[in-house]
Amino acid sequence: MTTTDSPATTHDDAPGFLPELAERLPLIRDLGPMQFDHPAMRAWDAPHGDPETWDLQIPDRELPGPHGPVPVRIYAPSDEARDGAADDPRAGAVSDPGAPRPCLVWLHGGAFIGGDLDMPEAHEVARGIAGRAGAVVVSVFYRLCDVPADMGGAPATTNPRGKTGVHAPIPLDDAHAAFTWVREHAADLGIDPSRIAVGGASAGGALAASLSQRLADEGAPARRALLMYPVVHAVFPEPTPEEAAALAVTPGVLRFHTETTVAMNENYLGGPVETATPYEFAALADEDALRALPATYIEVDEFDDLRRSGRAYAEQLRDAGVDVTFEIRRGVPHGHLNRVGLSTAAQSLDRMAALLGE
């Protein structure tokens, strides 16, 4: 296993956090779990700068799926942008003009109950990777689970398509249908069918990891998996002393405490965590199954309960002989790809684009 560590310049008042985050921490220091609607969170989540600009074609469409249409947004560099991308210093992994492009099927996060194609973790990530890598990125709006009363529903709200009772395996089925469609239509999309990767963040990272396992089990693995702060355990492993120390200084509203995580995962499963399989939480796969996985990149955030899930999964992959790279993104809490204009988000996009271009 290759392990790398991104450095972080810190702030004296909040050791370890990036300065641009440390200066905002007093806004949310006293907030507890699930207080996401507190006015202070809007200031905490405010952009740090302008969104990146890229010359892309970005059509929306619906793909066929076993549970109904699956909305996707397809990001592809225009021909002019691709021809000139080599002159863009941000585009370090651009594929050769005229050659079939690499592709990433991308899955946003949102605790299996939220998120959409417009959130930064979907739209800005897809734009940034497509532009940097000269690649096609297909961002998938998989079906979302209902929001139960103990997670903020009143008493429960339904997902955006008005369906009730959405649980596993429906979101993964949507992701699998999108990946299969992309592979079958690679020529139409200008994609190299042997260079289609799967990736996702947070809950989307869970889906991406399980999709990678499902494709490998079917004998048709993805080119690689890009897993950003994924949740791949139904019940988190114990933190290391270093991980516990980082969590001790993380505000409660940014934490994924055990009861919250179990509620989230059981809501996704539609049953107790004991019913989970590798097609919901990929760390449950045995070593024989793991051996079939493609090269996998796992990136975790320093101040994040999910860090231990990604770290433990990387260790499992290493022990199974999988080509795995594990990186800790220093100075940030969970979900840094949602932070528009944050330098570390751009660094993560650089990393993913470079891997996609290999």
Going by C-alpha positions, the residue among 102, 99, 108 that lies closest to residue 129 is: 102
Catalytic residue among 173, 334, 336, 350: 334
d(CA 7, CA 5): 6
Q: Which two tokens stand for residue 244?
A: 């516990």
Torsion over CA: 48, 52, 53, 58 (sign): negative
Catalytic residue among 304, 309, 336, 348: 304
Length of the chain: 358
In contact, 6 and 344? CB cutoff 8 Å:
yes
Going by C-alpha positions, the residue among 142, 116, 127, 105 that lies closest to residue 54 is: 127
In contact, 330 and 302? CB cutoff 8 Å:
yes
d(CA 101, CA 135): 5
C-alpha dihedral (117, 31, 257, 225), degrees to nearest 10: 30
The answer to whether residue 202 is catalytic is yes
The answer to whether residue 38 is catalytic is no
**Which of the 8 DSSP states describes residue 122?**
T
Helix count and strand count (H, E) for the chain: 12, 10
Structure-token match 């932070």, residue found: 339
Cα→Cα distances 280→2, 204, 226, 293, Å:
26, 11, 17, 16
Q: What are phi and psi of 266, to 5 degrees?
A: -70, -30
Residue type, 320: A
Catalytic residue among 95, 146, 174, 202: 202
The answer to whether residue 319 is catalytic is no
Other beta carbons within 10 Å of 158: 15
Q: Is the peptide bond before 155 cis (omega within 30 degrees of 0)?
A: yes
Other beta carbons within 10 Å of 204: 31
Q: How many Cα atoms are found within 13 Å in the side-chain-facing hemisphere of 10?
A: 12
Going by C-alpha positions, the residue among 93, 102, 128, 276 that lies closest to residue 196 is: 102
| Active-site amino acid positions | 202, 304, 334
